[in-house]
Structure 1
Amino acid sequence: MEKINYHNKRFRAVMNSDNGEVDDQTFFHYRQGGDVIWATYHGPNIRMGTLTGIVNEDGTLEFNYQHVNLDKKIMTGFCKSTPSFDSDGTIRLKEEWQWTNGDLSKGTSEIVELVEKDNFKPII
């Protein structure tokens, strides 16, 4: 797989397990420097979230995430994302994650790259 530069890429969640807090109105703004990635995210269930991680040699992403939810709880977890390209060339990340607090459950999610015509909702 070709190396992907995630710097200033924006994504929207399109699928998540029932035990997750991300939904289809959750937006992510990725940054990258070398093999280090970081992002901010927010949505109806998440007041503010951040992630920090690494782009591996095989193209997968590994990162820790944390966010403050609507109940003012700080939630944390670990995720491994596998990139692919949709037919229109946009990036899709298939994610396997696990909470590292709370019930420690696991789940899966997918996020897709936003294109110019999509509306990115900034953090207010």
Structure 2
Amino acid sequence: MPRSLDGLVLAPVADQAPGQVGTRTRFTYHEQDGEIWAEYAGGDVVRGRLVGTRAGDRLDFRYVQLKEDGTTSSGHCVSTVVELSDGRVRLEETWEWESQDGSGTSVVEQVTEHAP
């Protein structure tokens, strides 16, 4: 059975473009009965939410966020859940904005108490 994301905190491993999520952004995930959701904030993002579904190691969700400049944006993401050799979780993501032009890939990894 795939490892649950419930209660895990993840962070991007690299900064994206200005005004988007970056290494200072933290995602707190929740999972129950095939549903996933998360709150996120940090960097240029004041507040963000995502909601979607999980089937095996595949996540499919939509996200919305409020940025420091007062603008909002939204998009769609499909992620693959990968368990790292040290037991942490990585999400390998392919995303596309729906409220503006742009798409890309990103990686977020589980943050542990001992991480810098």
Q: Which runs of 5+ in 1 are unaligned?
A: 120-124
Q: Is the 8 A contact 1:85 1:91 kept in 2?
A: yes
Q: 2:37 touches 2:50 (CA, 8 Å); kept in 1?
A: yes
Instruction: Determine the C-alpha separation between the residues in 1 that align with 2:19 and 2:107.
Output: 12
- Stretches of structure 2 that go unaligned for 5 or more consecutive residues are none
The separation in 2 between residues aligned to 1:33 and 1:85, in whole angstroms, is 19
Contact conserved, 1:39 with 1:50, CA < 8 A, in 2? yes
Residue 15 of structure 1 aligns to a residue whose secondary structure is: coil
Match of 2:27 in 1: 28
The one-letter amino acid paired with 2:12 is A
Deviation at 1:15, TM superposition (A): 2.6
With the length of structure 1 as denominator, give the TM-score of the two structures: 0.86
1:19·1:107 contact (CA, 8 Å) conserved in 2? no
TM-score by length of 2: 0.92
Verify the 8 A CA contact 1:12 1:114 in the aligned structure 2. Answer: yes
Q: Matches of 2:35 and 2:92 in 1, distance apart?
A: 19
* 1:1-124 paired onto structure 2 within 5 Å: 2-18=1-17, 21-56=20-55, 58-103=56-101, 105-118=102-115
Letter in 2 for 1:15: A
Q: CA RMSD in A?
A: 1.6
Distance 1:70 1:118 in 2: 26
| Displacement of 1:19 | 7.1
Once the two structures are TM-superposed, the CA of residue 43 in structure 1 deviates from its matched residue by: 1.0
Moved more, 78-87 or 44-53: 78-87
Q: Per-residue CA shift, 1:56-101, capped at 9, x if unaligned?
A: 1x41100000000111111100000011122211101010000001
